[in-house]
Structure 1
């Protein structure tokens, strides 16, 4: 009998007690314990089983689950006698920061207090012990009162919050005569919100103190594991934490412990009589790479596909992608050109630091590649180390069809308010209707220019955003290239038809020019300058090499002046 697929269930106990579909990842327990690392941080994209794995670790180690061998029978970890004896033998503090998404510092701080108080609530039995001091009892009650009454004038002192996890570990260690395991899931969620809403410095100063007390100066700690999406810089939140082992998506440790392997996915398809879907599933959901292990599938998309038996961008639809959207939209033409290459299925090679420094995202544009890699939107097929300093250069591609669909939706969304005008412009472009092209382009620009955060004399960011929009809608019939060499120069945009009906789908070259008021009396003059450049620089050369004839190629000059554009 096929096991029921429970979508979104992240509680290991519930999953096992209800005999739901589960792919065994308990080898994580063995690998982590045998590593002997004191503090481990594992980063993986969202919806990759981080929370379920942390719940599993909690159920295995926590003495609150002593005697629950039924949860692990038949799984990898239970085949090893050493680990059977370890089940349910440690005091565990389990924290989850996933829900901390405050739009200001006070709300984020309240969220931290509530998360810590949940851990305290699980161990309120300690209040019945005679071993707790008056100060420790007061901490229990103070956190509980504040968590139930957030925003009250008399706040819990930062020092109390920052030392709360360490103090709870102290209480548990004395009570059980054993050091404590600390599990912290989605550690970086509140930090991403702090960056997005502009309270990064204040919040990281607070969280740094919390992490240092919890992990660095905690003598009651046996081991700790943290999970998250990003590897936030050590200087930001883990200062002087020398006992931290960071495992990113490019690390070889724990390669198979998160996500589904191809073997696991294909076996699940076979069990459900869906052998004929393997190729389709692979094209849509394969492509993730962890360390040296390729062909890793996203668990969220696979479980949804097995349940609904329909191909959809399940994983891509679970997030707004607002941070990446904003960074790409405001990025330089170089970043947008690289995005064009990625959308056309090509590889880009870039250098960046995997360590995310959120406050530097606005200054160091290459940090966006790090963010997209750790988020799972891009995959690193190869990392080469260059020069004496062995700087890492990443060979990146879009992960799979699902992430391609996510980017396409994002770029089309830039013109959502102008979708009708955008569609009409494309029709006019393909039919060589200059008057209609001018009308609809001016309608688009009036509402879209400011959205791309550019100055009046700097339209490059707009038109490269526009090119991404063209790519998103036209990749089936056109190969779209921008800022490439042809003839004796570099054209701005070239649309090369993939379909041979050149009357319906002509080749198109576009040249963009900002009016130079010293040399050009009008936008008409600027248009002529653009058209002359196309001719004199022989931009048609690349198209002639591909076998196109002169009458199959259309030239267009775009002249910009502020929010006005003239096409000729």
Structure 2
């Protein structure tokens, strides 16, 4: 098959995302260059946060080549006829994307290496060789003087050194202060700057990293820039029509579309290009990094995992975070594991309801959650296969036995160290994680006229309604009774051939299921 993703390896700086199709000896472009023109016309200092592998670096490359005046790279694109190609600007490109920062000394070495490369590219030798802040400031001033043009500063993965050491609070704080010192140059260098564009995964507060840059325009949740990275459905179907002929378009949408930044939903370009190349549906984006720290944070905070289906947060949670204050909701959104479902604005506040963006993220994230909780990936996979066979056969006794055996297999010592048996949502979260990891349709807290159902799981033409209880909190035998009395099943009867009520009760003392009852309603 054609090497559709060749461009991803070469990072050709054109049109933000493009790839070469060898058979046609040409290029297919998703043209994002109108955003370049818009940025220059409307401001000077910009910030954009997007999840990893979302095209941020390619967009910076596009900006760089435009300001360097490389018109030949933009033939046929919007910017070709909407840019002054007679003017070339000096560009300083700072990227922390390569490697992992181990500590302060490693960070300082990286900064000096990056600055030295920029000096070589600009033909400038800075006199400030011991202080990286002064070196950057001098480089900006001397570049503006040498080329008689204001300078463009592009900063990619500005936050990565901090995120590399986020689990080591003391080191992360020290790195943050060094970066703050570096970025503070931008305020004083304002008279010499044409444009500054900063990208990263997370959004640290201006106070902690960009003190003084009050005119920094945040594009992260700006509706007019919602599609600056990623592919819209229209772009996918128009530009890649030839490549989509033999693929199920609805399945592609279900697997990879759904990221919402207050505009049309977009695809992660990394995912879709690899899918077009192989024709296989796989968690490509997820395989490039695992959210171990995030999952650890959720478990330590005793987060009720099923709430990830409809998590609510306000502006203060989504806007920024810092090393001293890391809210799971903020990290989940900014790293791309959750996205915006809808927004409510009332009484001077904004409420964001979050959800998984697509099937890839939901299934892969819950599988990694199981890996963390189970500590045995092979056993997890065996259980998932068994679970699928159980649903195929509709064997509810086997369903009970599978989960009972799973909880019984967790070593006593692990409970002692984590005290997770006191986390009441833990047991229900395991059920949810297994069902979601299998790719089943799972609804949590589904509202009915009688209240909210704990969990509904759909498999083909059957629906299973779950009620979870802890016997230390309520008398044993109430779970199934609650389902019957509240009539949760009524809204499902017309939609499914079979509907089952399943009451599951746990004991924190026994650390396992003590009651598992079911009843068919249709």
Structure 2 length as normaliser, TM-score? Answer: 0.81
- Per-residue CA deviation, residues 480-522 of structure 1 (Å, 9 max, x unaligned), is 75799998x999x667675788xxx98665432459xxxxxxx
Q: CA deviation at 1:472?
A: 2.6
Aligned with 1:392: secondary structure? strand
Distance in 2 (CA, whole Å) between partners of 1:460 and 1:484 is 22
Over the aligned positions, Cα root-mean-square deviation in angstroms equals 3.9
Matched position secondary structure for 2:344: strand
How far apart in 1 are the matches of 2:242 and 2:352? 38
Going from structure 1 to structure 2, the CA distance change for 1:312 and 1:565 (only over 3 Å counts) comes to: closer
SS, match of residue 93 in structure 2: strand
SS of aligned partner of 1:163: helix
Closer, same or farther: CA 395–78 of 1 in aligned 2, 3 Å: same
| CA drift at 1:180 | 1.2
Query: Where does residue 410 of structure 2 map in the other structure?
Result: 444
Instruction: List alignment gaps of at least 5 residues for structure 2.
Output: 516-522
Residue 79 of structure 2 corresponds to 77
CA contact (8 A) 2:95 2:158 kept: yes
Q: Alignment partner for residue 307 of structure 2, among 332, 338, 356?
A: 338
- CA-CA distance at 1:212 after TM superposition: 0.8
Tell me the distance in 1 between the aligned counterparts of 2:67 and 2:405: 67
In the TM superposition, residue 182 of structure 1 has moved relative to its aligned partner by 0.8
Cα distance change, pair 288–532 in 1 and its aligned pair in 2 (3 A)? closer
Aligned 1:350-365 pairs, distance under 5 A: 350-353=313-316, 354-362=318-326
Q: Which residue of 2 aligns with 1:205?
A: 177
CA-CA distance at 1:236 after TM superposition: 0.9
Structure 1 residue 51: deviation in Å?
A: 0.8
Between the aligned partners of 2:249 and 2:423, the Cα distance in structure 1 is: 45
**1:245 match:** 217
Please tell me whether the aligned partners of residues 510 and 557 of structure 1 are also in contact (alpha carbons under 8 angstroms).
yes
Q: Are 1:96 and 1:187, in contact at CA under 8 Å, matched by a contact in 2?
A: yes
Deviations 1:216-264 (A, max 9, x none): 445422221111122211111011211211111x212333332122222
Offset at residue 29 of structure 1 (A)? 2.0
Aligned residues: 491
Which residue number in structure 1 is paired with residue 104 of structure 2? 105
1:420 aligns with 2:420: no
Shift of 1:309: 2.0
Alignment counterpart, residue 195 of structure 1, candidates 161, 166, 171: 166
Aligned residue in 1 for 2:44: 38
Cα distance between partner residues in 2 of 1:499 and 1:306: 28
| Residue 500 of structure 2 is aligned to residue 559 of structure 1 | no
Unaligned runs of 5+ in 1: 128-135, 143-155, 516-528
- Cross-structure match for 1:397: 355
Q: CA deviation at 1:558?
A: 2.6
Correspondent of 2:435 among 438, 448, 471:
471
Contact 1:430 1:506 in 2 (8 A): no
Q: In the alignment, which of 419, 430, 437 is matched to residue 454 of structure 1?
A: 419
Gap change, CA 1:355 and 1:436, over 3 Å in 2: closer
d(CA) in 2 for partners of 1:508 and 1:567? 15
Q: Which has the larger radius of gyration?
A: 1
- Structure 1 residue 114: Cα displacement: 2.4
Query: Closer, same or farther in 2 for the Cα pair 1:434/1:465, shift >3 Å?
Result: closer
Report the TM-score when normalising by structure 1.
Answer: 0.75
* Residues 235 and 534 (structure 1), Cα distance of their counterparts in 2 relative to 1, 3 Å cut: same
Contact preservation (8 Å) 1:5, 1:21: no
